[in-house]
Amino acid sequence: MDARIAILPGDGVGPEVVREAVGCLGTIAEAFGHRFAFEEAPIGGAAVDLCGDPLPHATLDICKTSQAILLGAVGGPQWDGRPLEQRPEQGLLRLRKELGVFANLRPVAVHEAMLHASPLRAEIVRGTDLVIVRELSGGLYFGEPRSLDPNRAVNTLPYERYEIERVSRVAFELARVRRHKLVSVDKANVLETSRLWRKVVGEMAPEYPDVELHHQYVDSFAMALVTRPTDFDVVLTENLFGDILSDEAAVLAGSLGLLPSASLGGPVGLYEPIHGSAPDIAGKDIANPVGTILSAAMLLRHSLNLHAEAAALEAAVDAALAAGHGTPDITRASRREGTRTLGARIRNHIFKPRMPTATATIPAHVWWGSPEGSLHLHS
Ligand code: NAD
Ligand code: IPM
Ligand code: MN
């Protein structure tokens, strides 16, 4: 197939990890006979430095006319003092809003070869396989009013029923093609928004009698996530809780650099690792590219419907990790490799399988108004 993919490297380690993921997509295209046209555009601090805007019109145009977007990370201390509209993070938030991507899938799977990398005991993390479904276009991030004065600041946490329903539907459907378990995480003992959240999610449960639904307070869930992670399958939560809990979940996987994400719900999907621009390690060729490479695999599956290709890329990552290759965050001192070397190792493990791969599908009606149609998910 022919596909146009927008590439937004961003700041810090963003360009380093994106380069490896684009390399992997190139190898996949070659192995499977596709033609991917990569169109690179500035976002975040790099775009602020170029033209004073963290999401230039031209970048947004390229994104909206592509079939999918791969993004590195944005931000860094050099832009922290800027006014709100010149903050790199605002460019990313505007992009998510403009694309209408309301559901952010953050899978957390613990690789057997990564057990040593987690500070948690192997018997706790072994077998962890969960997906956080984070609401991405509402809540505190976008709520009005917001203000900052010298002695008072305000943010607002609003949610409308329809916003809760559409992301909940994604979570229920995802549970249906996985292990049929859903936990909805909120703070309903304190927040009105969470009380509405819990009510709406609960009202949808009868439509999914095959999914076992639990509600849990976010403080208690934060503890349970690192003490009994294998209890969880699909985790549904609002924007800020999902942001915090997914970084916490990275401790299970062994490194923040390992986790990918897919942001879906609009006409064009956005794919990015969950980590930030990591200014402390930028430019040193030591950032872990795996989260971005696995995001590229999610791109193949969810935006291009290329399931065998996605599986081949994931298998290549598995094989490279199983062989003991890795960046310093996940590898013992004697075997440490750089970002570029690990990327090359993964590319060397890409093979076209002889047999077609099986997939499970979320029905198209879950993505209200999305021309993308159905979302395919690993069972
Ligand atoms: P961070 O995620 O950038 O880094 C946290 C820690 O994890 C650091 O020690 C870093 O070295 C390490 N780390 C991150 N990615 C890694 C990788 N691929 N390989 C190995 N180690 C990795 O979070 P931070 O330091 O709090 O934020 C830095 C900047 O990134 C801030 O400006 C923040 O706003 C921004 N940020 C952007 C995104 C995004 O673009 N999606 C996400 C989070 C933070
Ligand atoms: C993430 C990041 C972003 C978020 C920031 C950079 C706006 O932390 O993608 O997890 O909070 O969503
Ligand atoms: Mn985050």
This prediction has a pTM of 0.96
Q: Residue 74 CA: which ligand is closest?
A: 1
Ligand 1 site-directed mutation target among 275, 281, 294, 330, most atoms within 8 Å of CB: 275
pLDDT at 352: 85
Topology (CATH level 3) of domain 119-253: Isopropylmalate Dehydrogenase (3.40.718)
What is the pLDDT confidence band of residue 369, given thresholds at 50, 70 and 90? Answer: very low
Point out the residues that are catalytic.
141, 187, 219, 243, 247
- With a cut of 60, say whether residue 372 has pLDDT above it: no
The protein residue with its alpha carbon nearest to ligand 1, atom 16, reads 257
pLDDT at 376: 54
Per-residue H/E/C for the chain: CEEEEEEEEECCCHHHHHHHHHHHHHHHHHHHCCEEEEEECCCCHHHHHHHCCCCCHHHHHHHHCCCEEEEEECCCHHHCCCCHHHCHHHHHHHHHHHHCCCEEEEEEECCHHHHHHCCCCHHHHCCCEEEEEEECCCHHHCCCCCEECCCCEECCCCCCHHHHHHHHHHHHHHHHCCCCEEEEEECCCCCHHHHHHHHHHHHHHHHCCCCEEEEEEHHHHHHHHHHCHHHCCEEEECHHHHHHHHHHHHHHHCCHHHCCCEEECCCCEEECCCCCCCCCCCCCCCCCCHHHHHHHHHHHHHCCCCHHHHHHHHHHHHHHHHCCCCCCCCCCHHHCCCHHHHHHHHHHCCCCCCCCCCCEEECHHHCCCCCCCCEEECC
pLDDT at 335: 82
Same fold flag, 1-102+258-379 and 119-253: yes
Bridge partners of residue 130, in order along the sequence:
108
pLDDT of 26-81, one tens digit each?
Answer: 999 999 999 999 999 999 999 999 999 999 999 999 999 999 999 999 999 999 99
* Average per-residue pLDDT for the chain: 94
What is the pLDDT confidence band of residue 192, given thresholds at 50, 70 and 90? Answer: very high
pLDDT at 334: 76
Which residue shows structure tokens 């399958």? 233
- With a cut of 80, say whether residue 196 has pLDDT above it: yes
- State phi, psi for 113 to the nearest 5 degrees: -75, -5
- What's the mean pLDDT in 86-114? 97
**Residue 140 Cα to ligand 3 middle (Å):** 14
pLDDT at 353: 79
How many alpha carbons lie under 13 Å from residue 78 in its C-beta half-sphere?
Answer: 12
Parse the chain into domains and list their residue ranges.
1-102+258-379, 119-253
pLDDT of 176-190, one tens digit each?
Answer: 999 999 999 999 999
pLDDT of 337-365, one tens digit each?
Answer: 999 999 999 999 999 877 666 666 676 66
**Residue 277 Cα to ligand 1 middle (Å):** 5
Atom nearest to 77 CA in ligand 1: 32
**Residue 114 Cα to ligand 3 middle (Å):** 22
pLDDT of 107-134, one tens digit each?
Answer: 999 999 999 999 999 999 999 999 999 9
Whether ligand 2 lies within 6 angstroms of the CB of 89 is answered as yes
- What's the mean pLDDT in 148-176? 98
Categorise residue 32: left if φ over 0, alpha if ψ from -120 to 50, beta otherwise: alpha
- Taking the C-alpha atoms of residue 113 and residue 320, their distance in angstroms, rounded to an integer, is 10
| CATH tag, 1-102+258-379 | 3.40.718.10
